[in-house]
Amino acid sequence: MVKIIARSGHALVYWRVENRVREQSVPEASGRYLYGSFDDWLIVAELLYSKVEFFFWNRFSRTKKLLMPLAWDVYHRMLVSASPNDPNCVVLLLASYSERFACWAPGLDNWHGVFMGEDAFVDAVFCNGLFYFVSSENNIYTIDSEAMISPMKEKDIHGGTRNNQLLRDCLRLHQVAMPVKPTRACMRRYLVESCGEVLLVCRLFWRGDGKFLTSRGFEVFKLDACQMIWVKMESLGDRILFVGRAGSRSFSAAELGSDIGNRIYFVNDEMHLLQQGTEWEDSSPKHC
């Protein structure tokens, strides 16, 4: 678990592991956002008017990696296929209005925007070489990360139109059955990679006081990729899930030095972020 605060002109990161709290200074995050993490790398973002600049920072080697091109601030979530040291690393940005994503790979000068269709997906995750997108009907789009590299890097004299069409051609739609339906209610869906599996976390809520969502419960389903069926899970066992609009993760309770598994922790989103909006808005949590 990570906590970020500002002190003496730079940021401090706290995380709990093996029942101990560790502290590390991250001066590179001063005045910026810590946007997420991948393995040993922190994703640092800086808002520059209506655009955002991203880079990776390794908290152990204290090195900066992959300064990415500026992206529009309509994107609220980043997915990464591999370590920034991997030349086949692919980075995705998800748009707040659930109809497009932008993708980038090392060596490119710009992001490639891909339009998937109106309300095409509600969340996405990377697992076993594929990016997964889930729709409001519980169906799945997949796209192979390595198959994306060639279309992104192909020289396009048509201003990116051909690149984007080639990337759309890489998408695969899968109709996924759900024999046991979630309890009917207002619902938000999250995709989580856990132990090499894709989980669909359904958060049931009602609108409460009109500002924050009031959760009524959670139901979790595991994707059977061979049968293309969502299988309801009665228990998470040792797993602990952290879910939120800006990203979701799965951990083993034992690896965290805890004996409390079968838990879901979640970010209580504000109502204005239910359909659209990004973390860059004034009412969102402030940067470091």
Predicted pLDDT at 257: 76
Determine the residue type at 248: S
Query: Helix or strand or coil: residue 24?
Result: strand
At 191, is the pLDDT very low, low, confident or very high (cuts 50, 70, 90)?
A: very high
Does residue 167 sit in helix, strand or coil? helix
Q: Look at residue 160 in the predicted model and tell me its pLDDT.
A: 61
Instruction: Give the pLDDT band of residue 192 (cuts 50, 70, 90).
Output: very high
pTM: 0.86
Between 27 and 85, the higher pLDDT residue? 85
**Element housing 19 (H / E):** none
Q: What angle in degrees, to the nearest 10, is found between the helix axes of 161-170 and 145-153? A: 160
Q: Average per-residue pLDDT in the chain?
A: 81
DSSP string, 255-287: TTT-S--SEEEE---BGGGSSS--TTSTTSPP-
Contacts of residue 18, defined as CB under 8 A and 6 or more positions apart, other chains included, come to: 256, 257
pLDDT of residue 286: 40
User: 136 with 189: CB under 8 angstroms?
Assistant: yes
Is a pLDDT exceeding 60 seen at residue 24? Answer: yes
CA–CA distance, 130 with 116 (Å, rounded to integer): 16
Mean pLDDT computed over 52-76? 85
Domain ranges within the chain, ordered by starting residue: 1-68, 74-175, 178-288
φ and ψ at residue 270, rounded to 5 degrees? -75, 155
CATH 2.160.20.10 fits 74-175, yes or no: no
